[in-house]
Amino acid sequence: MANPLKSLFAPFSPHRKQYRKFKNLLGFYPGNLNLYEKAFRHRSVVTNDYLPSNERLEFLGDAILGAVVSHFLFQRFPFKDEGFLTKLRSRIVSRENLNSLALKLGLQNLVEKVQDRRMSSKSVYGDAFEALIGAIYIDKGYDFTKDFILNRIVKFHLDIEEFEQKDLDFKSKLINHCQKEKKLFQFKTLEEGPAHDKVFKVVVVVDQVVLGKGADNSKKRAEQKAAEVACAALNI
């Protein structure tokens, strides 16, 4: 954890313009300015090992965000089972939602990246959001990061009831993603059991790799289950 005294002297630092920029964005002064600058440095601008990208911070931030959201949902829904909590958490920390959060916070104005049409710019911003969480955790510790996520992100930018009620069409979502990214995809269905008690087993294959499986008495529900697993594997 960074020295908390650094934050006190941030307004008088030679880098006070940078400190003020992050203060306006986050609501607090960074202790270790380099961490926050690194959080917004995409790998496309890194040319050597002496200028690290935000990928390691993204890895850490993903874990911290998942832990905080899991604990929040566990407390908010004391009578819901593991399946419900897992689905709701997946929707909240989905790449689509993190991209949206990043844009709401204005992170697109801070990210350093090379302009490349082949690169999904929205994904870059969602990655930067996770890296930012990682930077805050290293700089300020878990409790501070938890308060930041709950009081500045969840409280003002997430409608939990909307996520709870949202019935995602994972099959359509997967198909749209594969068509957009020009990926080959296939739903393979196997029927088992007698006509009055038939079970449909569905496998989703993307670019010749099995990414999801689902089984149900309804073919549509089996497809949705398999597609949901595939969407999670593709982080969409």
1.20.1600.10, 1.10.1520.10, 3.40.50.300, 3.30.1490.190: which CATH number matches 5-165? Answer: 1.10.1520.10
**62 catalytic per annotation:** yes
- Single out the catalytic residue among 58, 62, 127, 228: 62
Q: Which residues contact 187 (CB under 8 A, 6 or more apart)?
A: 171, 202, 203, 204, 223, 226, 227
pLDDT given at position 89: 92
pLDDT given at position 121: 56
Same fold, 5-165 and 170-234: no
**164 catalytic per annotation:** no
- Single out the catalytic residue among 58, 82, 112, 130: 130
Give this prediction's pTM: 0.65
3.30.160.20, 1.10.3720.10, 3.30.70.141, 3.30.460.80: which CATH number matches 170-234? Answer: 3.30.160.20
CB 217: neighbour CB atoms within 10 A? 11
Look at residue 27 and give its three-state secondary structure: coil
pLDDT given at position 9: 47
Q: Tell me the CB-side half-sphere exposure of residue 130, using CA atoms within 13 A.
A: 30
Q: Going residue by residue through the chain (236 aa), what tens digit of pLDDT does each one get?
A: 655 545 544 554 555 788 888 898 899 999 999 999 999 988 776 556 656 778 999 999 999 999 999 999 999 999 988 888 988 998 899 888 999 999 999 998 888 765 554 445 557 899 999 999 999 999 999 999 999 999 999 999 998 888 877 656 789 889 989 999 999 999 999 998 887 788 999 999 999 999 999 998 889 889 999 998 999 899 88
CA distances from 33 to 44, 55, 130 (A): 21, 17, 17
The domain ranges of the chain are 5-165, 170-234
Report how many helices (DSSP H) and strands (DSSP E) the chain contains, helices first: 12, 3
